């Protein structure tokens, strides 16, 4: 593809709610320890919403944070794509709620459901619209309120998840070589049973029975998800590098979905990436599902690890199973 039709990320905004749930708090709620969580997962604390706050509220705050760092007229937004698996409600879409709350008049949008790959899939969808040449400003948002479907008596799940959101602005690339270079993605539905929320959809609509059977909570076979994630993140990152005739040594910054510190470092090891090129903030936020990648971009910028001209590798694996990787040349 000619550079002229590429898309690039021109702004990043993030938001996490103020309430913090620490490992010490969890030690009082379930049979766990700070040492176990830090060693097996790498999380110290996560942020949770107060009752009455939905994914659209976090998304709106993330867009406001983006605007604060990169002011522009929101009325110019052509498209809003939201990755989420915890929408405020089944419908209308989170994109509609965000559009209304921000008062953007002449736009359209939709939600993407891809679990922890939600932001990456939303990003890749948005990129295609910019590459078409007809879209000049696309807002891509990842927002999840995982606390809304977490059973805080299930120690294997409640330690992992947090709430948070991030937003990026996509615009046409203007210089040679910059912007989104390539992406790969794959879904493997055989993995659905290992990570899902079985209740509340058309198959098992809400009833006393679904509530009694805890079907509105995250059901996770952590061991199987972990094994798949380690294998698949390596496979997707190696695939995208190989097809662009690159190796891990060419990568300046690796931004992975933050599900478990060990999944991220295993992938980095496989690619031969030193830790200073790997963005890790799971200790502060936990797994915020579609929020992790923009939150990690913000961390990378704040820590000076993401600079103009850097080759950036992004990767995610999530419920579905879904997986993907994106390669881009950062130009802010």
| Residues lying near ligand COA in the complex (CB under 6 A) | 32, 36, 40-41, 116, 155-156, 159-160, 195, 222-223, 225-226, 229, 259-260, 287, 317-318
> To the nearest 10°, the Cα dihedral for 253, 256, 260, 266?
-60
The least CB distance from residue 157 to ligand COA, in Å, is 7
Task: Point out the residue whose Cβ comes nearest to ligand COA.
Answer: 222
- Residue bearing tokens 């690339």: 173
Q: Which is nearer to ligand COA, 37 or 173 (CB)?
A: 37
Q: Is 257 a known active-site residue?
A: yes
Question: CB neighbours of 284 closer than 8 A, spacing ≥ 6?
Answer: 44, 45
CA distances to 112, 116, 239 from 183, in Å: 16, 16, 10
Shortest distance (Å) from residue 195 CB to ligand COA:
6
Q: By C-beta, is 150 or 287 nearer to ligand COA?
A: 287
Residue with Cβ nearer ligand COA (223 or 243):
223
Checking DSSP bridges between strand 179-187 and strand 322-329, what pairing results, if any? antiparallel
Minimum CB–partner distance for residue 130 and ligand COA (Å): 27
CA count, 13 A, side-chain hemisphere, 267 = 36
Taking the complex as a whole, the smallest distance from the CB of residue 46 to ligand COA amounts, in Å, to 13
| C-beta closer to ligand COA: residue 48 or 259 | 259
Catalytic annotation present for 287: yes
**Which position among 23, 47, 116, 196 bears the catalytic label?**
116
Specify the residue, 39 or 302, whose C-beta has the smaller distance to ligand COA. 39
Per-position DSSP letters for 50-103, written without gaps between them:
PTT--HHHHHHHHHHHHHHHS---GGG--EEEEE-SS-SSSSS-HHHHHHHHHT
Please report which residue ranges of the chain form alpha helices under DSSP H: 23-29, 34-40, 55-69, 94-102, 118-131, 155-158, 208-212, 222-243, 261-271, 282-285, 292-302
H helices, E strands: number in the chain: 11, 14
Give the shortest CB-170-to-ligand COA separation in angstroms.
24
Closer to ligand COA by Cβ: residue 93 or 287: 287
**Toward ligand COA, which CB reaches closer, 99 or 237?**
237
Identify whether 116 is a catalytic site residue.
Answer: yes
Shortest distance, CB of residue 244 to ligand COA, whole angstroms?
Answer: 25
Long-range contacts from 295-299, C-beta under 8 angstroms, 24+ separation: 295/14, 295/16, 295/164, 295/166, 295/258, 296/255, 296/256, 296/258, 297/9, 297/12, 297/166, 297/168, 297/255, 298/12, 298/13, 298/14, 298/166
Closest approach, Cβ 311 to ligand COA, in A, equals 25
Give the span between the Cα atoms of 232 and 120, in whole angstroms.
Answer: 15
Given the residues 183, 196, 257, 281, the one annotated as active site: 257
Rg (the chain; Cα; Å): 19
Closest C-alpha to 289, from 122, 108, 171, 109: 122
What residues are labeled active site?
Answer: 116, 257, 287
């Amino acid at each position: 593809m000619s550079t002229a039709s590429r898309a690039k990320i021109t702004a990043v905004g993030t938001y996490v709610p103020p309430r913090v749930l620490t490992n010490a708090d969890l030690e009082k709620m379930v049979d766990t320890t700070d040492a176990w969580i830090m060693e097996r997962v790498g999380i110290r604390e996560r942020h949770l919403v107060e009752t009455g706050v939905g994914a659209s509220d976090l998304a709106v705050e993330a867009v406001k944070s983006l605007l604060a760092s990169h002011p522009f007229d929101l009325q110019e937004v052509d498209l809003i794509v939201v990755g989420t698996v915890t929408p405020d409600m089944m419908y209308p879409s989170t994109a509609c709620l965000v559009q209304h709350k921000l008062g953007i008049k002449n736009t359209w949008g939709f939600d993407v459901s891809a679990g922890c790959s939600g932001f990456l899939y939303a990003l890749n969808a948005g990129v295609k619209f910019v590459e078409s040449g007809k879209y000049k400003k696309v807002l891509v948002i990842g927002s999840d309120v995982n606390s809304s479907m977490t059973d805080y008596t299930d120690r294997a799940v409640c330690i992992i998840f947090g709430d948070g959101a991030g937003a990026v602005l996509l615009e046409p690339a203007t210089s040679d070589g910059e912007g989104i270079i390539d992406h790969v993605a794959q879904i493997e539905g055989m993995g659905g049973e290992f990570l899902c929320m079985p209740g509340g959809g058309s198959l098992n609509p809400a009833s006393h029975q679904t509530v009694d059977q805890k079907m509105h909570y995250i059901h996770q076979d952590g061991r199987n998800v972990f094994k798949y994630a380690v294998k698949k993140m390596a496979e997707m990152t190696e695939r995208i590098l190989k097809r662009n005739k690159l190796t891990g040594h060419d990568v300046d910054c690796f931004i992975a979905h933050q599900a478990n510190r060990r999944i991220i470092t295993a992938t980095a090891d496989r690619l031969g990436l030193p830790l200073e090129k790997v963005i890790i903030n799971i200790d502060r936020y936990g797994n915020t599902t579609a929020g992790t990648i923009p939150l990690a971009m913000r961390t990378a910028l704040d820590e000076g690890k993401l600079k103009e001209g850097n080759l950036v590798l992004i990767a995610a694996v999530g419920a579905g199973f879904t997986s993907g990787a994106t390669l881009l040349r950062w130009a802010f």
